[in-house]
Amino acid sequence: MEGPVLPCLRHRYDLFYKRCPSIYRQEFLQGRARGVRPKGWRTMSFSERLKKKILIDSLTRSVLSSMGPPGSGARLDKDAMRGLLDMASYAAVRERNMDLYVRDEPGKKRILVLDNELPIYSGTTLQDVLLRKSPSLKEMISIRNAIRILSDKDVVTHRRQDSVAFIRSACFEGLDLSFGRPDVEAICLDTARALEAQESPRVLEGLGLLCELLEYGPPPRDLELPGLEARGAVGKAKGASMPFGPMLLFYTPSSRLTWVDACVDLRDEAVRNRLRETALVAEQAAAQGEQVLRVLHDAVIQRYGLGPGVRARVEHGSLTSTPGIKEPASGA
């Protein structure tokens, strides 16, 4: 971790927000509304590509969390779904008061209808989808058309959560998530510069990237201290226990970063009190400030076996922290 501190990363957003990186998501959706396409994957630094993965996953969670049981009437988060479709290179089409998204693929066309069911049609035409989803009175008179309207099993390949998983997978096409030791050092060095300048948003950005690499998550129970952000290893609960740790604590009002090298049960009020004290009084921590970044740096290097010249890859096969989503079968 020795060497010059790199310039700050371009995008500022809060990776510690439980549901999504809100500032970056707003920038992305606003840019899409202005017709600005995402920057090409291959021209991005690893930090930017990793932020794209985080954005894809956060938009996916937003869509899934807005989906109720079939027929429940729950309103889909269409803005988040539009963001995913844009990154998956689906073109928007407005016909018969419906929002459709079309992607041309070799030998076929995929068409998604943006409604609560999210059906994806394959091997058919836009006019056929319009007929099936919103037929005119004249079209319904035909017996052949009536049969097509009543059954779409021959052309619908995905619905609901399966559609979300399929579109999420398409978002990762061409996104190189390989990285090496210099990429990790760059993130740590930039975060160290932000920590020294007490720029909390940039510190949170860098910590969020490192936590993504380590699969650190939020605590299973809130620590009840305004301005305190915590991320760490979430252990498997046994009974009513809430195992959490080791962990980092970042107190945003003072940009104080501390490390707790232990796994604790957050059910215990005394434990939560000690963690709050540790966050406020750094001397009680196992490590603090830039020392925490060294701990995280070494943990990433060890986890991925990043020796000199070695490169690893961040996997994105499934969104394991969100129930109800799995990677679609290949060739679907």
Looking at the domain assignment, is residue 288 inside a domain?
yes
Q: How far apart are the first and last CA of the chain?
A: 44
Looking at the domain assignment, is residue 314 inside a domain?
no
Looking at residue 34, its pLDDT comes to 47
> Is the pLDDT assigned to residue 12 strictly greater than 70?
no
Mean pLDDT value across residues 48-69: 94
Looking at residue 318, its pLDDT comes to 63
Read off the pLDDT of residues 118-147 as tens digits, 9 standing for 90 and up. 999 999 999 989 988 887 777 777 777 666
Looking at the domain assignment, is residue 110 inside a domain?
no
CA–CA dist 154, 131 (Å, integer)? 14
Mean pLDDT value across residues 74-88: 95
Looking at residue 68, its pLDDT comes to 82
Mean pLDDT value across residues 82-94: 96
Looking at residue 320, its pLDDT comes to 46
> Is the pLDDT assigned to residue 324 strictly greater than 60?
no
Mean pLDDT value across residues 218-242: 92
Q: Which residue has the higher pLDDT, 22 or 84?
A: 84
* Owning domain of residue 211: 179-304
Looking at the domain assignment, is residue 50 inside a domain?
no
Looking at residue 145, its pLDDT comes to 66
Helix or strand (DSSP H, E) at 183? helix 181-196
Q: Chain-wide mean pLDDT for the chain?
A: 84
Rg (CA), the chain: 23
The total number of structural domains that make up the chain? 1
Looking at residue 138, its pLDDT comes to 72
Looking at the domain assignment, is residue 192 inside a domain?
yes
CA 258 vs CA 152, 277, 296: distances in Å: 56, 11, 12
Read off the pLDDT of residues 91-115 as tens digits, 9 standing for 90 and up. 999 999 999 999 998 888 999 999 9
Looking at the domain assignment, is residue 112 inside a domain?
no
Give yes or no for a contact between 281 and 260, defined as CB atoms under 8 angstroms apart. no
* Burial state string for 171-199 with b = 16 or more CB within 10 A and e = fewer than 16: bbeebebebbbebbbbbbbbbbbbbeeeb
CA 174 vs CA 29, 32, 104: distances in Å: 21, 20, 17
Looking at residue 9, its pLDDT comes to 28
Mean pLDDT value across residues 7-17: 33
Q: What one-character-per-residue DSSP string does 86-103 give?
A: HHTTPEEEEETTEEEEEE
Q: Which residue has the higher pLDDT, 313 or 38?
A: 313
Looking at residue 16, its pLDDT comes to 42
